[in-house]
């Protein structure tokens, strides 16, 4: 699909609706790539996927306070707007949506209407480690969907649980939006690209790639050896601890809904969250197995 020669910018509700309304009147298909900025190649892969799917690409940059818990890094989250804007222009983004807090939450976050993520998807794993996180995610994503009204929305598989939560949001609330997942983009050492990788010291960054290596080993064990998932989880967690990680969880779950996999399940995910120094990392691996 062709992109416009110059990226436009919208900052409030009237601007974003005016631009996207005109595109829809012209019969153009719109894709949305929601981000919190500090863009890297993983984000740009989402923009590239969006360009293949739609006539116009909107990328939002908004650091959403509703998805940060007490003691998390909302204030210190990397903000690199000038570099982000340049990267998006080069990637062929048509419109940068850069809302202020009052655009997203007109009466302030404390007085805003909020959504609750589906408990069966949101309460475990990341939801257990970060209570209320996915409620904040669905609250802001629904607002972005309402303002942009895209035909397509693109999300990365690195945040796999988030991808499922948002897919459920779209289905449950009846949005006419197709969710496009994009595989995780990795650094040379296997580390999944993330804005929080910037917190890592050089030695930590090299060591952090071992998280992916351990998950790949666990995936191979499940795929070829059909071992007890609980035993594989424990072994992977122990390997990570021996490598110096502080492990929150290693979990083998059914890919469809993060339920416990059974003998008939063929599509599963190995998911993990672990700390490397003061940086929290998440990752997951797709597994197509012969049965568990």
The residues that are catalytic are 43
DSSP state of 131: T
Give the containing element (helix H, strand E) for 77: none
Nearest of 116, 94, 146, 129 to residue 271 by alpha carbon: 129
- Cβ burial 128-147 (10 Å sphere, 16+ → b, else e): eebebbbbbbbbbbbbbbeb
CA 134, 259, 45, 21 torsion-angle sign: negative
Nearest of 181, 241, 225 to residue 50 by alpha carbon: 181
Could you tell me the end-to-end alpha-carbon distance of the chain, in angstroms, rounded to an integer? 42
Nearest of 196, 9, 11, 165 to residue 86 by alpha carbon: 9
Instruction: Determine how β-strand 246-254 pairs with β-strand 267-276.
Output: antiparallel
DSSP state of 259: P
């Amino acid at each position: 699909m062709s992109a416009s020669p110059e990226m436009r910018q919208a900052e409030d509700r009237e601007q974003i609706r005016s631009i996207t309304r005109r595109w829809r009147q012209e019969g153009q298909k719109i894709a949305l790539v929601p981000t919190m900025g500090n863009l890297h190649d993983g984000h740009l892969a989402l923009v590239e996927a969006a360009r293949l799917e739609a006539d116009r690409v909107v990328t939002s940059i908004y650091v959403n306070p509703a998805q940060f818990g007490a003691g998390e890094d909302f204030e210190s989250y990397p903000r690199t707007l000038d570099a982000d804007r340049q990267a998006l222009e080069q990637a062929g983004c048509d419109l940068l949506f850069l809302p202020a807090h009052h655009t997203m939450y007109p009466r302030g976050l404390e007085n805003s209407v909020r959504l609750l993520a589906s408990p069966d998807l949101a309460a475990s794993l990341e939801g257990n480690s970060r209570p209320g996180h996915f409620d904040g995610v669905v609250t802001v994503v629904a607002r972005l969907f309402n303002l942009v009204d895209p035909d397509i929305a693109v999300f990365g598989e690195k945040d796999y649980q988030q991808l499922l939560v948002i897919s459920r949001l779209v289905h449950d609330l009846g949005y006419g939006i197709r969710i496009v997942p994009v595989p995780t983009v990795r650094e040379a050492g296997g580390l999944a690209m993330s804005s929080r990788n910037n917190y890592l010291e050089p030695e930590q960054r090299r060591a952090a790639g071992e998280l992916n290596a351990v998950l790949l080993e666990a995936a191979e064990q499940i795929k070829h050896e059909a071992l007890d998932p609980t035993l594989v989880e424990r072994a992977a967690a122990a390997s990570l601890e021996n490598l110096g990680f502080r492990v929150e969880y290693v979990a083998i779950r059914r890919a469809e809904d993060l339920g416990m996999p059974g003998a008939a399940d063929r599509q599963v995910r190995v998911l993990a969250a672990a700390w490397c120094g003061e940086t929290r990392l998440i990752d997951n691996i797709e597994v197509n197995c012969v049965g568990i």
